[in-house]
Amino acid sequence: DFYTEDRTAAVSSAQTLIIAQNALSAKFETCKAGRGHTRQPLVCDTTDREDELAYANLQLHQFANLTEVVDFGPLLGINAPSGAWTMQKQRNAKGGTAWRRVNQWGACKGCADVVAVSYDMVKVIDADGNVVQPWYDEFVKYMGDVPLVTWSGWKDAAARDKAAEIQDGYVKAVQAGEAPKMMPVEVC
């Protein structure tokens, strides 16, 4: 039922979308180590063996199960057995402020070397929460009056533990081939 007098249908639809979603994590390493994912990093400096934050392999986790990594190619319906999504720090980028996002595909497992999409990214806030100029001001100007929502963590440890318990139930149900039990509306 898509329509109800209260918020039941909306919450049910939202829960369905949430549990069916995949999660992404970033595994950072040196640019040279990135060759194991894409054979040839395109942007970062492969001669720099010290910078362990120069290259990030974006890892896909089906149903947000962070204990398993799934290859992008087959899961996204692309006719390629291998896919890699990466972030590579651009050479000479002061303080790691400029990055290139690259999606690559390959015809054999572990050889994602054909570039499908790439674009530039900039850091607008550093690890300490300080704005990075001029990128922050440009971002705010670009976004204009669009409201932005950020999520910065759980209200407390009990809320985090309850969410983990619910997520574990979703994952176990899906892995068992069952329909996940939806959370009651009043919990939301």
- 134-166: per-residue pLDDT in tens? 988 998 899 888 887 655 566 788 887 887 787
pTM for the predicted model, two decimal places: 0.62
Mean pLDDT of 68-72: 80
Separation CA 119–CA 134 (nearest Å): 19
Mean pLDDT of 43-56: 81
If one counts every other C-beta atom within 10 angstroms of the C-beta of residue 145, the result is 4
Min mean pLDDT across 68-77, 105-114, 175-184 is at 175-184
b/e map 83-108, b = 16+ CB within 10 Å: bbbbbbbbeebeeebbbbbbbbbbee
Spatial neighbors of 11 by CB under 8 A, at least 6 apart, are: 183, 185, 188
> Alpha carbon of 112 to those of 58, 77, 188: distances in Å?
13, 15, 41
Sheet of strand 114-122: strand arrangement: 23-29, 55-61, 82-89, 98-106, 114-122
> Alpha carbon of 90 to those of 2, 99, 160, 179: distances in Å?
47, 5, 36, 44
- 14-35: per-residue pLDDT in tens? 666 665 577 888 888 888 888 7
Contact between 62 and 70 (Cβ < 8 Å): yes
pLDDT at residue 148, as a whole number: 74
